[in-house]
Chains A and B, each alone.
Chain A
Amino acid sequence: MNAQDERPILEARGLTRRFGGLVAVDNFSFSVREGAIHGLIGPNGAGKTTTFNVISGFYAPSAGRVFFRGIDISGRKTSALAAMGLVRTFQGSTLFQEFSVLDNVRVGRHLGTRAGFLSRLLGTDRPLEQAAGEEAREALAFFGLEELADEPVSNLPHGHQRMLGMAVALAAEPQVLLLDEPFTGMNPEETRRMMTLVRRIRDRGVTVMLVEHDMQAVMNLCDIITVMNFGALLVEGEPEAVRNDPAVIEAYLGSAAPDGSGHAA
């Protein structure tokens, strides 16, 4: 793992985020290699979600910088980051619940369908919109949801809604996809399918960074794992190394546990 050889696609240096007196993220640094599936884990309250929110532009960092392909993106708007190729998903079923499945993904094609106001008014954007509809159907097909295109989202079971959330994000043609707890609330079968899909997304050339609680899934899926604790970096490395790291075991189970390693992993 010669991370120094190549410029990371996504990098945080000394990232800090305070909420009043609380330091949620404390001088945290990491870098994501292009083409990797990179996991970000840590006990509850470690600052993973805050880190995600800072990287994706929902919060500005209190200190430190975030770089995307070497460009400083700290504090830029979420929509501007999406236009650069950095797209995130959300926990749970954050979707346009009142829309059809297809319309959800059509909104995801926002960046690929630029047209002027007059063109929209006169309907000369039709070829563009037809193409967007096709691309949206392709994104649905990728997740095996094409049959459900005209269903209202609220009719979809939870697992399908999670996949639709990824389809919306993928429709925005990201270079880096940030997945916020993609496996939460899924049964083992759904988790297995989702893992396959995440690998296939990576094989399409998309770098993936994910926050997740399902240790089994993270260990099996990720090429590299960053462990956070109390808002700061604890350990970073390949799954095998992280699994056996005493600091990680201690963070998850507390120092008093004499032999809790099997459980932590």
Chain B
Amino acid sequence: MPAAGTGGLIRRAAWRLRLVLLFAALAALPYLLSYSQQEIAVLLVINVLLVSSYRLLTLTGEWSLGHVVIMGVGAYTSALLAKQAGVPVPLSMLLGGAMAAGTAALLSFPLFRMKGFYFLIGSFAAGEIIRLIWKRFTDPFGGPKGLKRIDPFPDIETGFLSIDFYEPVNYYFLALAVVSVSLFVLYRIERSRIGLTFHAIHWQDRLAESVGVDTFRYRTLAFVIASFFAGIAGGLYAHYVGAVNPTRFSVDQMVYVLVWAIVGGTATFHGPVLGVVVLTVINEIVLRALGLDTARPLIYGLILILAVLYLPNGLESLGPRLRALWQRRRGEPAAAGREPA
């Protein structure tokens, strides 16, 4: 054990070092950005949670078109609780997540009677029903105009410390903390037997069922967990932007989530994160600089087509591919990933 453990220890240390460096970079990031870029960074961090939670559902093989609406359930719930019931904002966000999870639990009864394409369409229909409810009922949802003047995240005021979350930098760190904890939980779930079972259901649901896996319950579990974190993302969004409306959670927005996930790749945990980060950077920096940011749908469509054609396994497959290429050029066998002993 100790002899075999050395390699594992080194790998774990390298992994920790990389994580520390990543967090250092993330902490330094807002100070390198302009005010408007800081605002974009906040939304990006929220979108990382949105697309990562979406991936948890796709582990079971089901792709939903309602995930952004579920995020909206979290946003509306948290906003209404804060505005109308005076619930303190951090708590209202948690309750928003719980409401999103509860909505998913209810929806799973009709939706998981279907699989594949039918589930996709069913989830779209369910999402549209929720959106129409927001539009139709002005009280309490505010109708097509939605909710405005949503309470912001309360400032922290102690003797020596004063944090105003109206400042994008501060909200960025708040969102970063919440999203980091959420991603850690999502990661732990995937690495546990629960994740193994989700994968098993994806590849052979009949076989999984035959050895005692209640596939309906596990599909529901994936949907509920994914929706909880989407709801949290919604809460973070609502109390940052201060306004929500039904259009913000329309299927157009869902298409962006799909593009992030597909371009990034869903085989690994970091794939969708890579997708949302790279595409946001392309959109906000490159396109804006070129004055093409209004052509976002067109260019996203182009990127999607190019990715599907030339990078079908997503950006996540780029690293291993480049590494193999590099090793081949140095005359090493591509398969040997480790140094010679």
CB–CB B204/A94 < 8 A: yes
Who on chain B is nearest to A98 by CB?
A: B203
Residues of B within 8 A of A (CB): 185, 188-189, 192-194, 196-197, 199-200, 203-204, 206-215
For residue B237, give the distance in angstroms from its CB to the closest CB of chain A: 25
Nearest 9 pairs of A and B residues by beta carbon: A82-B212, A120-B192, A111-B212, A172-B211, A79-B214, A78-B209, A107-B200, A96-B203, A108-B211
A96 to B207 Cα, complex, angstroms: 8
Are the C-beta atoms of B185 and A110 separated by less than 8 Å?
no
Q: Which of A80, A87, A108, A169 has the most CB of B within 10 A?
A: A108
- Chain A minimum-CB-distance residue to B194: A120
Interface flag for A221 (CB, 8 Å): no
- CA gap between A103 and B197 in the complex, in Å: 10
B199 touches A96 (CB 8 A): yes
Residue from the list A87, A97, A103, A125 in contact with B211, Cβ < 8 A: A87
**A169 & B203 in contact (Cβ 8 Å cutoff):** no
Chain B residues in 8 Å Cβ range of A77: 209, 214
Chain A, interface size category, equals 35 or more
Chain B residues touching A, majority SS: helix
Count of inter-chain pairs, beta carbons less than 8 A: 89
Known pairs A96-B203, A98-B199; A168 contacts B193 (CB<8 A): no
**CB-nearest residue of chain A to B203:** A96
B200: A residues at CB distance < 8 A:
96, 99, 107
Q: Which of B192, B196, B197, B206 has the most CB of A within 10 A?
A: B192
- 29 interchain pairs (CB within 8 A)? A56-B210, A77-B209, A78-B206, A78-B210, A79-B213, A87-B212, A95-B207, A96-B203, A96-B204, A97-B204, A99-B200, A99-B203, A106-B193, A106-B196, A107-B197, A107-B207, A107-B211, A110-B193, A110-B197, A110-B213, A111-B211, A113-B193, A120-B188, A120-B189, A120-B192, A121-B189, A125-B192, A168-B211, A169-B211
Residues facing B in A73-124 (CB within 8 A) are 77-80, 82-83, 87-90, 94-99, 103, 106-108, 110-111, 113, 115, 117, 120-123
